[in-house]
Structure 1
Amino acid sequence: MEASAFFATIWSRLGHSSYLSADLEARVERYWEDLETGLQALYPQSEGVLGRVAETLARNLQERSIELQALDLKRVYQPDWFQKPHMHGYIAYADRFAGNLKGVAERIPYLKELGIRYLHLMPLLLPREGENDGGYAVADYRQVRPDLGSMDDLQALCTQLRREGISLCLDLVLNHVAREHPWAVAARQGAPRYRDYFYIYPDRTLPDAFERTLPEVFPDFAPGNFTWDDEVAGWVWTTFNRWQWDVNWSNPEVFLEYLDLILWLANRGVEVFRLDAIAFTWKRLGTNCQNQPEVHALTQALRAAVRIGAPAVAFKAEAIVAPEDLITYLGTGAHYGKVSELAYHNTLMVQIWSSLASRDTRLFTQALQRFPEKPPTTAWATYLRCHDDIGWAISDTDAAAVGLEGAAHRRFLSEFYRGEFPGSFARGMHFQENPATGDRRTSGSAASLAGLETALESGHPRLINLAIERLLLAHAVFIGYGEGIPLIYMGDELGLLNDYDYGQEPAHQDDNRWLHRPRMDWARAERRKQAGTVEHRLFQGLKALLEARSRTPQLHAAFPTRPLWQPNPHLLVLKRPHPEGTLVQVYNFSEQDQALPWETLRAEGIVQPFDRITQTPAPAYLMPYARLWLTQPRL
């Protein structure tokens, strides 16, 4: 099929104005090659896939509202909308934040007060009953959890957020569905078409062959990667849990199903899709079945089709992998800049916590020096905490370069943030400890890990002040990093602590990640208005950082961040070149005053450093946990 025939197939089912015809034809021509080459890499022997993609696009374009078509046009002319310095994100569970979707709508003024332009609501589509991996075991992508509301409520929320200048991000689980999903139900009932939507084997021959190179994601409560199912009479691929069935993306029917689903949800008003577990979507014998080349081909094809049918939409890849693999989710080689617009900068998060524990930034600087540069049309999602545990992804190569032993440093971090290391200020828990490898991940809220819980218990004003400053420093680093959208996790703006009552809910008692998923405390939120309270200092401190970011053009995500080596191991120094003048950020990761690195600043042309955060000249010394965003005043 040629591009002209592809466009004609779509247009024959629409019949809009000639202007829209020209607009649609231009989009087809722009993304045709990305779509065709992506599909050819995935399904070289499949006839008619492109024609069915065209039909899927036409069906959903017919249903796209005039308001969303206007947003499409706006985004076509502002393709960097998600890269702008005023794009600030917030992550929340709808029920824990505000009860339900209508409650979230009522809290929009709170989000706007903080300066939020992007809201990621954690899984809210209908999950299976009982255990559901925090909502990631989806039973129906076209229904909302009943306790949160209805699909009409979600559409109404999207509309209200959009009119207030806030984009909604929704989780879309790509690797698996719940065993109770209609596809899996049909497979269990013997429908051949739907059996082909999954990986089902009659005996252990192939599962055992795959297992030789497959890691275990949850070795404690979900060992192995395959589960015997009596109804389907076979071994089902279940990477995460026995009730989460991996879908078979080598089947083009699966691609078409997910494309239709994305466009349908986009028509409800969803603007950003977090592509959950995307790294696992393609399987290959003899590998770990992660980060396979076809993953990027399928993302490219999906993105190209969605750019034709709903160009207001952006993709965010949820790929917590090594940096050399992570950059491929924003595009390298033939896929450069053609896959997801956003991906998580896991390395930044891990290194912030590492430097807070060690008071040493040399490993941080080394890791950023080696971190690949992203395509300028993309952005990182930067963050300090999220709903998940912290995996201590410290590279052995980076550790060795600064005189550390990787395994020993990872062990130090897990012990420090468990509160087991002498002198630790942190309170957390080990998650998924693996005795065979020594791997221990960490659960805990940002405030508790940063020492606020311990400090409040002591009642000591200096310790409380240090914990608050530590939290503000940590946030300043990822907010000021500048290559993407900073994401604030619900409650971190108030210093919410660990929720040790998480085990009282039966569905949560075996998963201590609920330790750092507390319910929003709106009584404490009111204290943000009372000067001198912890809540006021944190909320106003983060708000000031976000306001400073909005007025700093150097923080547009198209420009790269470069770490600078300098003699003081307690300081992290980052440089952002820009046509309006270089920005140099200086962060003090210690509890002691540190001298400003004058020689480093002068080398970058900054001789009269002006702080963009406080809008005052820079001090000669950095207070404990100080953070400065410095430019040379323009004449």
Structure 2
Amino acid sequence: MLSPDLAARLQAASLDDRDAETFRLRLERYGPDLAESLRAVYGEQAGEVLDRLTEVLLHASQARPADLRRLDEARLLRPDWLQAPDMIGYVAYADRFAGTLRGVGEHLDYLQGLGVRYLHLMPLLRPRAGENDGGYAVQDYRAVREDLGTLDDLSALARDLRGRGISLVLDLVLNHVAREHEWAVKARAGEEKYRAYFHLFPDRTLPDAYEQTLPEVFPDFAPGNFTYDDEARAWVWTTFNRYQWDLNWSNPDVFLEFVDLILYLANRGVEVFRLDAIAFLWKRLGTSSQNEPEVHWLTRALRAAARIVAPGVAFKAEAIVAPAELMGYLGRGVHHGRVSDMAYHNSLMVQLWSSLASRDTRLFGEALRAFPAKPTTTTWGLYVRCHDDIGWAISDEDAARAGLTGEAHRHFLSDFYSGDFPGSFARGLVFQHNPQTGDRRISGSGASLAGLEAALEAGDPGRVDDAVARLLLAHAVVLGFGGVPLLYMGDELALLNDYSFAQVPEHAADNRWVHRPRMDWALAERVQAEPDSPAGRVNAGLRALLRARQDTPHLHASVESRPLPSPDGRVLLLRRDHPLGVMVQVYNFSEETVALPGHLLRELLGDHAEDRLSGSTFSLDRPTLRLGGYRALWLLGAELRG
């Protein structure tokens, strides 16, 4: 129990008998989890934090609208809602998709036509003016960017989405706030309460000590992790940019502020929070200050608090870390299944592009085999591309098992996708070259990286065919792997790189805007009438893949995809052991036709198998199965169809 005077507080909160009983029941369920998590972080202060937290939770519970209370009850009855095969995600910047939040609302038919049930609108809470790291330098969490509309517009959009069965997903930046945020303004003015919200140092002694083990996120335009601020008269911890001040989560006031913010936005209709930069929350001298144990306790505490008031809300961890660390964000050991509900499978995206460049899936298989099993109640966020750059997160150990040298392969991929490697089909831009480590990340749209831009410029129909096939193959893997596939805006239209970013002053220094184009609504309107165009072929092919996914229960995310040994390095084989039967997925990552021994599949599926993508039936009693270039198969044994 959070407070010995809970009954009096419930009465003061004006909750009716039913809502008060609901609060008590959820408190019995999640209160111990919350208390244990806070003790692990705040020690002797935990009791006081819990007492103060009671008021925050009661206030938010009293303010929760009736329709969202109904959503909570529905989600409690269907806790696997994020794992269902019909859960299709779409990711877009509101302004680049439709101008304003009201504009987004005018295009819900389009999203529903794609089968979208999860809409992630990229950072839209009010950022600082001017340069703002793509919106991740938040000045006010309780306001929307003025050019997009108002918070009431956001609530109305959330309500309209909910009416169509689409969940609104929003970024919540946890690690830092803009220098112009109210907390930072008060800290600069000398208010000690708010100075304690940040990491401020009077001289370089401790910053220099920390720097010995801290990596640089943006070495090109934000070297180092500390910035001297004249007004604050201190060195400020600024992991990402000089204008983004890292928060001090060892101060429980910061935790309480964010519980209040999460519940405030949840009551506005946000259903999923993307926990941005979550790996960086806890600072510890002598470490990288990433993935520290307190991060997982804090996330678990935030989740437990949210469950008490709004169990219809889910958390997605934005943790782009090594696989061994990634599982901590879904919960391992004492945290198993009690941290975030979803995390990005960044490695899958990296391996897609690696295999397309090399025409070799051996590294892909080794990387997947090294992944530990996730909790069955959680799910992956899966994507071909996202708003960010591609960092070649390939471990030396995985590379060695595949017969490669990690450093050399990462160098090859940077060369290939920047177009510098002989024979490359890609058109990408190098982002953040670190001369000390040799790391070069890559920006570029999915279509341009897959070769469509270069093929169209060359006027080569064969190369266009290959580019279209690569895009559809990559999406087939993402849609079939098991998780929430996240379609990045414009990929369904094969939009190319947008080089006009260089003419926008606040974007010019950040070439990631090359793959953040404006939605081409004219193309979207005519694409189905132009089925032979590259955009028409990609759109039709992707829609067919989406329908196949929605109709295949074997893709429920509680089931893991596991790699099978492949007799041909060009082919990736994945197995899914669903209660309805075994599913085997076959992906050819080359332009060439490959012959697979029939017995490999016959042993798993029997003499006959149905391909859920084409509807074709294959006889597996033949010596070989011929697989065309960039072909994908989702095979079920004929007697085990769902």
Q: Distance in 2 between matches of 1:54 and 1:172?
A: 22
Instruction: Tell me what 1:23 maps to.
Output: 22
Q: Distance in 1 between matches of 2:40 and 2:412?
A: 44
Instruction: Tell me what 1:501 maps to.
Output: 500
Instruction: Tell me what 2:133 maps to.
Output: 133
> What do residues 392-418 of structure 1 show as CA deviations (whole Å, max 9, x unaligned)?
011100111111000000000000001
Alpha-carbon offset, residue 498 of structure 1: 0.5
Instruction: Tell me what 1:481 maps to.
Output: 481
Instruction: Tell me what 1:245 maps to.
Output: 245
Matching of residue 440 in structure 1 with residue 445 in structure 2: no
Q: Distance in 2 between matches of 1:240 and 1:496?
A: 29
Instruction: Tell me what 1:34 maps to.
Output: 33
Alignment counterpart, residue 634 of structure 1, candidates 614, 631, 639: 639
> What do residues 281-327 of structure 1 show as CA deviations (whole Å, max 9, x unaligned)?
00001100000000000000000000001111000000000000011
Structure 2 CA distance for partners of 1:597 and 1:176, relative to 1, 3 Å: farther
Q: Specify the code of the residue in structure 1 equivalent to 2:430.
A: H
User: Which runs of at least 4 in structure 1 moved beyond 6 Å after TM superposition?
Assistant: none
* Matched residue SS, 1:44: helix
Structure 1 window deviating more from structure 2 (576-585 vs 519-528): it is 519-528
Q: Distance in 1 between matches of 2:398 and 2:302?
A: 35
Q: Distance in 1 between matches of 2:98 and 2:328?
A: 36
Instruction: Tell me what 2:302 maps to.
Output: 302
Q: Specify the code of the residue in structure 2 equivalent to 1:535.
A: A
> What do residues 316-341 of structure 1 show as CA deviations (whole Å, max 9, x unaligned)?
00000000001100001111100000
Matching of residue 341 in structure 1 with residue 346 in structure 2: no
Q: Distance in 1 between matches of 2:315 and 2:597?
A: 39
Q: Distance in 2 between matches of 1:105 and 1:528?
A: 21
Instruction: Tell me what 2:171 maps to.
Output: 171
Instruction: Tell me what 1:536 maps to.
Output: 536
> What do residues 542-593 of structure 1 show as CA deviations (whole Å, max 9, x unaligned)?
1111111111111001111110012111100000001111110000101011
Structure 2 CA distance for partners of 1:9 and 1:403, relative to 1, 3 Å: farther
Which runs of no fewer than 5 residues in structure 2 stay unpaired? 620-624
Instruction: Tell me what 2:376 maps to.
Output: 376
> What do residues 361-387 of structure 1 show as CA deviations (whole Å, max 9, x unaligned)?
000001101111100000010001000
Instruction: Tell me what 1:102 maps to.
Output: 102
Q: Distance in 2 between matches of 1:557 and 1:263?
A: 27
Q: Distance in 2 between matches of 1:286 and 1:323?
A: 22
Matching of residue 73 in structure 1 with residue 45 in structure 2: no
Structure 2 CA distance for partners of 1:7 and 1:485, relative to 1, 3 Å: farther
Q: Specify the code of the residue in structure 2 equivalent to 1:633.
A: A
Q: Specify the code of the residue in structure 1 equivalent to 2:503.
A: Q
Alpha-carbon offset, residue 160 of structure 1: 0.3
Instruction: Tell me what 2:574 maps to.
Output: 574
Instruction: Tell me what 2:515 maps to.
Output: 516
Structure 2 CA distance for partners of 1:611 and 1:508, relative to 1, 3 Å: same
Structure 2 CA distance for partners of 1:9 and 1:260, relative to 1, 3 Å: farther
After TM superposition, the structure 1 = structure 2 runs for residues 201-600 of structure 1, keeping only pairs within 5 Å, are 201-482=201-482, 484-530=483-529, 531-600=531-600
Q: Distance in 2 between matches of 1:536 and 1:401?
A: 40
Q: Distance in 1 between matches of 2:616 and 2:272?
A: 37
Structure 2 CA distance for partners of 1:60 and 1:3, relative to 1, 3 Å: closer
Q: Distance in 2 between matches of 1:402 and 1:305?
A: 44
Q: Distance in 2 between matches of 1:202 and 1:92?
A: 41
Alpha-carbon offset, residue 510 of structure 1: 0.5
Alignment counterpart, residue 622 of structure 1, candidates 620, 627, 630: 627
* Matched residue SS, 1:604: helix
Q: Specify the code of the residue in structure 2 equivalent to 1:521.
A: D
Identity %: 62
Q: Distance in 1 between matches of 2:380 and 2:618?
A: 29
Q: Distance in 1 between matches of 2:174 and 2:70?
A: 28
Q: Distance in 1 between matches of 2:633 and 2:218?
A: 40
Alpha-carbon offset, residue 601 of structure 1: 1.1
Q: Specify the code of the residue in structure 1 equivalent to 2:260.
A: D
Q: Distance in 1 between matches of 2:476 and 2:335?
A: 32
Instruction: Tell me what 2:85 maps to.
Output: 85
Q: Is the 8 A contact 2:572 2:587 kept in 1?
A: yes
Structure 2 CA distance for partners of 1:572 and 1:9, relative to 1, 3 Å: farther
* Matched residue SS, 1:577: strand
Q: Is the 8 A contact 2:15 2:62 kept in 1?
A: no
Alpha-carbon offset, residue 613 of structure 1: 1.4
Alpha-carbon offset, residue 609 of structure 1: 1.4
TM-score by length of 1: 0.98
> What do residues 399-457 of structure 1 show as CA deviations (whole Å, max 9, x unaligned)?
11111000000000000001111111000011100111111000000000000101111
Q: Distance in 1 between matches of 2:9 and 2:58?
A: 5
Q: Distance in 1 between matches of 2:618 and 2:439?
A: 42
Q: Distance in 1 between matches of 2:573 and 2:262?
A: 41
Structure 2 CA distance for partners of 1:54 and 1:591, relative to 1, 3 Å: same
* Matched residue SS, 1:349: helix
Alpha-carbon offset, residue 6 of structure 1: 7.6
Structure 1 window deviating more from structure 2 (3-12 vs 265-274): it is 3-12
Instruction: Tell me what 1:52 maps to.
Output: 52
Q: Is the 8 A contact 2:337 2:378 kept in 1?
A: yes
Q: Distance in 2 between matches of 1:153 and 1:509?
A: 30
Q: Distance in 2 between matches of 1:10 and 1:222?
A: 48
Q: Specify the code of the residue in structure 2 equivalent to 1:491.
A: G
Q: Is the 8 A contact 1:527 1:535 kept in 2?
A: no
* Matched residue SS, 2:274: strand
* Matched residue SS, 2:360: coil
Cα-Cα RMSD: 1.2
Alpha-carbon offset, residue 614 of structure 1: 1.7
> What do residues 115-153 of structure 1 show as CA deviations (whole Å, max 9, x unaligned)?
100000000000001110000000000000010000000
Q: Is the 8 A contact 1:584 1:629 kept in 2?
A: yes
Which runs of no fewer than 5 residues in structure 1 stay unpaired? none
Q: Distance in 2 between matches of 1:13 and 1:276?
A: 35
Q: Specify the code of the residue in structure 1 equivalent to 2:437.
A: T
Alpha-carbon offset, residue 10 of structure 1: 5.3
> What do residues 156-193 of structure 1 show as CA deviations (whole Å, max 9, x unaligned)?
00000000110010000000000000000000111010
Q: Distance in 1 between matches of 2:301 and 2:359?
A: 45
Alpha-carbon offset, residue 220 of structure 1: 0.7
Q: Distance in 1 between matches of 2:295 and 2:606?
A: 44
Alpha-carbon offset, residue 39 of structure 1: 0.5
Q: Is the 8 A contact 1:618 1:628 kept in 2?
A: no
Q: Is the 8 A contact 1:57 1:309 kept in 2?
A: yes
Structure 2 CA distance for partners of 1:14 and 1:616, relative to 1, 3 Å: farther
Alpha-carbon offset, residue 22 of structure 1: 3.3
Q: Distance in 1 between matches of 2:72 and 2:550?
A: 24
Q: Specify the code of the residue in structure 2 equivalent to 1:118.
A: Y
Q: Distance in 2 between matches of 1:605 and 1:423?
A: 39
Q: Is the 8 A contact 1:9 1:51 kept in 2?
A: no
Alpha-carbon offset, residue 634 of structure 1: 2.1
Alpha-carbon offset, residue 9 of structure 1: 6.1
Q: Distance in 1 between matches of 2:172 and 2:597?
A: 45
Aligned residues: 633
Structure 2 CA distance for partners of 1:319 and 1:461, relative to 1, 3 Å: same
> What do residues 601-622 of structure 1 show as CA deviations (whole Å, max 9, x unaligned)?
1221332110011222148422
> What do residues 181-225 of structure 1 show as CA deviations (whole Å, max 9, x unaligned)?
000000011101000000001111111111111111111110111
Alpha-carbon offset, residue 462 of structure 1: 1.4
After TM superposition, the structure 1 = structure 2 runs for residues 146-185 of structure 1, keeping only pairs within 5 Å, are 146-185=146-185
Q: Is the 8 A contact 1:319 1:344 kept in 2?
A: yes
* Matched residue SS, 2:33: helix
Q: Distance in 1 between matches of 2:117 and 2:212?
A: 45
Q: Is the 8 A contact 1:445 1:497 kept in 2?
A: yes
Q: Is the 8 A contact 2:567 2:596 kept in 1?
A: no
* Matched residue SS, 1:513: helix
Q: Distance in 1 between matches of 2:282 and 2:3?
A: 31
Q: Specify the code of the residue in structure 1 equivalent to 2:41.
A: L
Q: Distance in 2 between matches of 1:332 and 1:556?
A: 21
Q: Is the 8 A contact 1:280 1:289 kept in 2?
A: yes
